Structure 1
Amino acid sequence: MKNQEPFQALFFLSTLVLLFISSAKGKCPPSFLCGNLGTMYFPYTDTKHPHCGLLVIHGCVDRDPDAVKTIKNKGEWFYITRDSSTQTLLFRDDDLRTLLLTRRCGVFSKNYTSLDTSSPFLSLQFTTVTLFTCNRTLNITPPSSAFSKSTICPNEDIFYGTSKVDESFSYGSEDIPDSYFELCSKIRLPIRDAELVPNSNGSLFDYVSADIPVRTEVSNPCSSCYRLRGGQCQLDSQGKFFCIQEKTSRKVKIVVAATSAAGALGILMVLACILRRYYCHKKNPTYIMIENFLKQHGHLSAKRYSYLEVKKMTNSFKNKLGQGGFGTVYKGRLQNGSFVAVKVLSKLKGDGEEFINEVASISMTSHVNIVSLLGFCLEGSKRFLIYEYMPNGSLEKFIYEEKDPSRLKLTLHCTTMYSIAIGVARGLEYLHKGCNTKILHFDIKPHNILLDELFCPKISDFGLAKICPREKSIVSMMVARGTIGYIAPELFCRNFGGVSHKSDVYSYGMMVLEMLGARENNNCRVDFPSEDYFPHWIYNHLESNEDLQFRCTKNQNDEEMVRKMIIVSLWCIQTDPSNRPAMSKVVKMMEGSIRSLQIPPKSFLFSSSVPQSQSSDSSGY
């Protein structure tokens, strides 16, 4: 039966080819049903009749009436709902929504133009507000009582009008000359209800809306073409409008038939190549090894996708998130509208170990501080892993400003760093003790810690992980695993002790010290001579009870959190693994009182520099 699989696929696709040749384009329906959106009309259409409209809604043909409805416009995906009170369609911008939910002033840093349609016959109208963001040092005063100022951002004043100006769906400061604000930035943002303009004490975060009420406007010639003649709107070679009607000439039909035949021949040639590659991959030992693993672990919660499904969800791999040690990561979107990160494993890693490690390890976990594996794909040499999307990327981007200059204003405050450190500790504790089997990560570093929209940390990249029985303390290992600067000494020299879960403890300690003392840690920077090894530098200051002078410390509470993180980290990087605390102990130490912590003995290795990630372009997945 297994040998018949490619022939069944050939028969199925051949049938599709014949249907493609023999079918004629059907007449466009006057309306269509789209689940909970109700009855929809032109210029909207569904995926069954993509040629019948200017905006295609995905999810209408799903049997579940509450299935997520989405629209792709100029390369951007929008989640579509209907306002029950006004019956207006709402387009949701997920990126803008994330900024609003986290109360970030990045909301007011750019003009909103993402709804500009790519169709020359269609415009999308939505209500906007015009704002001027001005550096606070300019001391600008509103020119009239109808103009309000917001001070919700730390370094900028934001000015906006409080009355409707005209019928062009723009509210705000059109009556004020731009020259008055020539030193400021003029932006426009979408709003939900123009009647709810905030007063001087209101919050612009609540006024700006990521759920955008949209009104479509179709040009008169295009509307007449569709509604009166049942045609389609097109532009000729000179950019002039013309209407294609259902009745076509005999010459056009011959051209369509010839094109269809040529397309069918091309598809059959592609099928022949697929069959050839199919049999080649069936003989590949790596492919056989991974397939056997997947059969033995049929209970895996992650869904298996085809290559075509992965290609569709990533929009043909257009949005690259970064590059990691095991491959490239792209942003994607599932049919339900959820964003995902798709990791394309490098073809150079031919033994398949990293694929099995990630699928096996993460599928066994379920924890708030462990990244979720939603699916995978294995087709021949193509291997993909599909994770939940983390909008804030990796921790590395926040402690090395040269990795992402655009994040310079998003500094990690002491409270945030403290929460991240505790979250990672809880995740490691779960891997070591909370699973049915013990999972050793072997590559804990800032690059592999992902941050969600609320900066909750999640451990990722299990390509080097090792699964072992819970009762087994010492792990056999032929070669060292990990990143230079974070590898425990016993991994490269057995004289220091056996390899165990304490190796992850060492990496965790170095990672927390890196968070506090990285040379480019935004505003939380500590300068020390380059020839000094940072743990020794910071140990000497602790021992002599000197002020550490971290710039991120604003009060005594901050100083205690930083001091606690340092002391716990120094315990974690003890050279002798037996002197390091288990991660369960680390969590208790981090959450407990600093008065109960003692400074550990000075027992850690010397190094010539501060450890840094070896990846120049990282993704974190």
Structure 2
Amino acid sequence: MAVWLKYCIPLLSLWLLSTVAEIRFHEQCKESSCGIHEPPIRFPFRIKGRQPEWCAYNSSFDLHCTYTNHTVLQLSPSVKAFVKSIDYSTQLMNVSLSYPQGCLQKSFNFSGSPFGFNHDVGLVLFNCSVITSYTNTDHSDIIAPGNFSCLNVPGFQVIAVDFSSSLVDMPVLSCTRIQSLLSLPDSVLLNNNVTGLSWFQPDCKNCERNGGQCKIKENNTKHEFHCMGTPTGSSKWKLLAGILGPFLLVSVGVIAYYLYIAVTETRNYTRFRRFLEDYKADKPARYSFADIKRITNQFKEELGQGAFGTVFKGKLSNEIQVAVKVLLNTSTGNGQEFINEMETMCQIHHVNVARLVGFCADGFNRALVYEFLPNGSLQNFISSADNKDAFLGWEKLQNIALGVAKGIEYLHQGCDKRILHFDIKPHNVLLDNNFIPKISDFGLAKLCSKDQSIVSMTTARGTLGYIAPEVFSRNFGSVSYKSDVYSYGMLLLEMVGGRKVTGVSTENSNHVYYPQWIYNLLENNEDITIHIEGEDARVAKKLSIVGLWCIQWHPINRPTMKAVIQMLEGDGENLEMPPNPFSSTSAASTSNRGGTGRLIQELDVISEIE
């Protein structure tokens, strides 16, 4: 949408401006005249003082109206042409010339003028000392001497003879040729002052003959022009409507789009406000965005980043430290992750779930304030047993695994509503000073009624590597609380294997998926970890078996979290090996193995609570 607007709106704007300019030309430069009986005036002419300069081709085409309403064209400083008629299709006008008598050759010096006489004549000037012969002879080809009196000198008189005349019988024998005038109006020979005047540029003859009208291009210093139609009356408005229609349609579309965004944002904000009113009884502290900035010292210390925002370290006081999760301000999720986490955290009070201290819903700024857990996430302590600097020890790892299991069991069975986390992984398990685990990040959580557990989902959610198969494909079963069990099983196996992918043999460079590597070791009764003095390696085996039970492909073959806790609290000696989750026959073998029935429970078909 943004790309389309980027290119289309400027083009439509130019199109509209061009059309408006054309209509403005017709309005301000519309045909006019000096009087009822005077010729119509339009491009390339204009009536000076009545119309803008750009209505004329250039200043040479400026016409004036006299106080008697006659149309006048100033050909030169000394010559005026009273315009009688104008034929735009032939670019010819009839004019009556007015010029000072006695100096004809100076009056018609039109150098640089765009106009020329339609019928001109050429004259030769003679300076004569004998005048009697001219005076007594009737020669019509001789121009009256008074027309050139400005050239006379004492004892001589100037006369003019037409180029086409014969000089044989003319009284010029005692005359001296002094000058030639090549282009004068033929009216000087016809004893009148009406003549034809034409112009050659701009050449609009074809445009006029086809019913069009020339118009100068705006903002053009070269006086270029183009031919356009001559809409009048209602047709002008039809032209404008034809151009404005698509433009207005696009404008309405753009306005509707932004109104939709505004309404959606307003609706989301209203939803937030109602939600906060519903849950204010749980009394989490509410902070303004200015408070969040102050608490985090202008977001100075970043603890980590997630799919929906960034976590910063903050202080409520010198004694109380917090972790502030600032959610991304985007419209793609409609703020659902904020509501998910708020709705979930306001109902949870458990030692193995991170505690919500407060929240921020200031305008479109969203933030969640949690208790600060100094040891960070379990991800920082996932390491193989041979890494003594980072390895926590099997007893501590079992306590962490048991605490996480109790936290998930509380989410599934201990709340008023069943909460499905959908993003169980080491990164979302935080550790306090005593390494007590606390589940965090409920942005993907789903709530459903207590007696139901199968959830309808349109898209997969979670982190690759921890997402249960049924979340990707319903061929494995329905999405339910067993999806959290699968993620927990991957977490256990990662705690055991230290995220290591180990070769099958020293001679084979091929590698296998590390949960499968663990299963192969157990099935062959091989040790899955290095023996360390003071560490009970049986814990690793127990965690591995429980983890492999949890990652069975089909949800119905996985244990509940209650059963997981029972297995973790036992000594592990009586745990049976689960079916091979990496074998296509694992589902069939499950039903044939004794002793596993206690781990398999039928699922209640349920619907998700929105």
TM-score by length of 1: 0.49
Return the structure number with greater relative CO, CA threshold 8 A, min gap 6: 1
TM-score by length of 2: 0.49
